[in-house]
Structure 1
Amino acid sequence: MSSDEGGGIADRLGRLADAALGTAQTRLALLAVEVEEEGHRLGAAFFHLILAALFTGFGLLALAIYMTVWMWDSHRLLALGLDALIFLLLAVWTASQAYRRLSEGTRLFRDSIAELERDRAALKGRHD
């Protein structure tokens, strides 16, 4: 009689351990996805910051050329001024894109925490 009970308890403990390990594996997979998504978000923001710096440099270079030839033929001034304006507008746009991506906030671990809270609530409901 005690061997039947022992086998039943061992089986139950085995199933419980298997369920716990399955849940942990799922949560770790979700955690890995969230870390990867965060890496992509930061990479995109970094890319936009680099572009903003590049366009700012081009804009300043074009502005310097514009100032140098200010006294020359009027048609060249318009072309160089428009070049400077375009590069500076691109710099502002890319910087705003980077700012927007960074100000969205991180989603890192948000889904994992929510899943763990649902797991705890489900387990708490079983014990009550």
Structure 2
Amino acid sequence: MSDSNNNDGLLGSLKRLTNTCIGIVHTRLELLSTDLEEGRERLISLLAMTFVALFCLCFGMVLLAILIVVLFWDTHRLLVLSLLTGLFIFTGGVIGALAIRALKSMPRMFEASLAELVKDHQETSRD
């Protein structure tokens, strides 16, 4: 009789342990999925805004450059073209450096998921 109770208790404990492990894995996978979804939405939004801003800025800069060159066509057109070319190259370099810095400072992907996994590992290591 005690053998059967012991087996039921051991089997019941194993079932509970398995259910707990499945629950933990399920929670972590949901968190990982949420992280992926948020990262994807943030990236798509950022790319769309960047493309629209770049298009508008480039179009505006080209029109401004044409206007300035036309204004100085009879007097200093080569000087104006040289200055505008230098300005565009300098501005492009500065904005490129700022973009690279922004990419490097982006938050780490799956940061919340990794933090939860570290907590889980610490909890199981105590036992």
- The TM-score, its normalising length taken from structure 1, stands at 0.68
Instruction: Report if aligned partners of 1:38, 1:107 keep a CA contact under 8 Å in 2.
Output: no
Amino acid at match of 1:64: I
Instruction: Report if aligned partners of 1:38, 1:106 keep a CA contact under 8 Å in 2.
Output: no
- Residue 111 of structure 1 corresponds to 112
User: For each residue in 1:11-57, what CA deviation from the matched residue of structure 2 results, as whole angstroms up to 9, or x when unmatched?
Assistant: 10110011001111110111011111211232233123213421112
Aligned length: 106
SS at match of 1:105: coil
How far the C-alpha of 1:104 sits from its partner, in A, is 2.5
Amino acid at match of 1:67: V
How far the C-alpha of 1:105 sits from its partner, in A, is 2.0
- Residue 80 of structure 2 corresponds to none
Amino acid at match of 1:15: R
Rounded Cα–Cα distance in structure 2 between residues aligned with 1:102 and 1:42: 11
**Structure 1, unpaired ranges of 5+:** 73-87
1:1-80 map, 5 Å = 1-54=2-55, 55-70=57-72
Amino acid at match of 2:62: L
Instruction: Report if aligned partners of 1:30, 1:112 keep a CA contact under 8 Å in 2.
Output: yes
Instruction: Report if aligned partners of 1:34, 1:109 keep a CA contact under 8 Å in 2.
Output: yes
Amino acid at match of 1:68: V
Instruction: Report if aligned partners of 1:34, 1:108 keep a CA contact under 8 Å in 2.
Output: yes
How far the C-alpha of 1:60 sits from its partner, in A, is 1.1
Question: Aligned-pair RMSD on alpha carbons?
Answer: 2.7
Amino acid at match of 1:122: E
| Higher relative contact order, chain-length normalized (CA < 8 Å, sep 6+) | 2
**Structure 2, unpaired ranges of 5+:** 75-87
Instruction: Assess, with a 3 A threshold, how the Cα gap between structure 1 residues 23 and 15 changes in structure 2: closer, same or farther.
Output: same
User: For each residue in 1:96-125, what CA deviation from the matched residue of structure 2 results, as whole angstroms up to 9, or x when unmatched?
Assistant: 8x8265333243111111111111111110
- Residue 83 of structure 2 corresponds to none
Task: Report the more deviating stretch, 100-109 or 42-51.
Answer: 100-109
